[in-house]
Amino acid sequence: MELHHIQEWHVYQTHDAAHMIALCATCHDHVSRGVLRIEDDDLYRWKGIPRDAPPIAHLFVEPGNAPSLLVGSICCRGDSGVVVFDLSDSLRLSFAVHDDDVMLLSLRIADLHGHALVEVVDGYVKARDERISLEQRPGRVSVRRTAPVSVVPAWAKLCLLEEEPKRRVDDIPILDLLVLEPGLVQVQGIWMDREKGVVITDDRLAFLNVDRPLPLSIMGAGRDSVLHFTGPVGTAMFKV
């Protein structure tokens, strides 16, 4: 979101909150350049409507030539979208391409008891639990803990420490979505159930299983390491 001056800055040169309103980055740009015309009376009327802050955010991904997800240090791509992994109802990451260019991201995250924490549906990020909060700025949405919440079992912490002793598991966000460029979204986070899970950091995509002593980690060279999926729609790239 961005702040729009209802009373134009170049005329009044004031940041009076009574004459400012929050607009999404795209709408703000269009209004400022005259592409989208909204009457001042309408803006003041919308501003005056009392609203509770909803636990929802939206990640707008500007269209790009080849919509992709950067997971760790590999880039996942598919002609009409791709299911990156599908391990269970609460361990699934995918995106779809609509009208050949609009990227719609979907994901569900639950705690170890199966209670929904976050749902991402077509780019809309919804908080489902009061123990977490959404932090948003244009091009980025982060999900943080505001109270203790069980998302990583003890065996998984030991497994991660065996591979990366210097990395603090608690520092890995539940979810972090960042638009790097048109059509390219970086995904990081940690999602687990009692027997398996997925961890995505800045350099790796790791799959964990209670029966394996170490994560199965996949690493590449960043956005230049591309996995282009050409299989049936709805089939996961990784199902381990």
- What is the SS3 assignment for 159? helix
Do 103 and 204 lie in one domain? The reply is yes
For 86, 149, 150, 158, the CA distances from 115, given in Å and listed in that order, are: 18, 11, 10, 24
- For residue 52, the model assigns a pLDDT of 65
Do 219 and 159 lie in one domain? The reply is yes
Do 25 and 98 lie in one domain? The reply is no
Contacts of 194 (CB under 8 A, 6+ apart): 112, 153, 210
Tokens 């990395």 -> residue: 167
Do 125 and 148 lie in one domain? The reply is yes
Query: Domain of 10?
Result: 2-51
- For residue 153, the model assigns a pLDDT of 92
Number of structural domains in the chain: 2
Record the tokens describing residue 130, joined without a space.
């009061």
Do 25 and 76 lie in one domain? The reply is no
- For residue 228, the model assigns a pLDDT of 93
Do 18 and 65 lie in one domain? The reply is no
- For residue 141, the model assigns a pLDDT of 92
> Please, are residues 131 and 199 in contact by the beta-carbon 8 Å criterion?
no
Rounded to 5°, angle at Cα 147 from 142 and 152? 75
Contacts of 35 (CB under 8 A, 6+ apart): 29
Do 195 and 99 lie in one domain? The reply is yes
- For residue 39, the model assigns a pLDDT of 87
- For residue 101, the model assigns a pLDDT of 62
Strands (E), the chain: 2-5, 20-23, 56-58, 68-71, 74-78, 81-88, 91-98, 102-110, 116-121, 124-127, 132-137, 140-145, 175-181, 184-192, 196-200, 205-209, 216-218, 226-229, 236-238
- For residue 73, the model assigns a pLDDT of 96
Instruction: Using 50 as the pLDDT threshold, list the residues of the chain that sit under it.
Output: none
Pairing of strands 2-5, 132-137: unpaired
Q: pLDDT tens digits for 119-143?
A: 999 889 998 888 888 888 888 999 9
Record the tokens describing residue 160, joined without a space.
């991660």
- For residue 155, the model assigns a pLDDT of 94
> Please, are residues 208 and 196 in contact by the beta-carbon 8 Å criterion?
yes
Do 156 and 209 lie in one domain? The reply is yes
Do 177 and 133 lie in one domain? The reply is yes
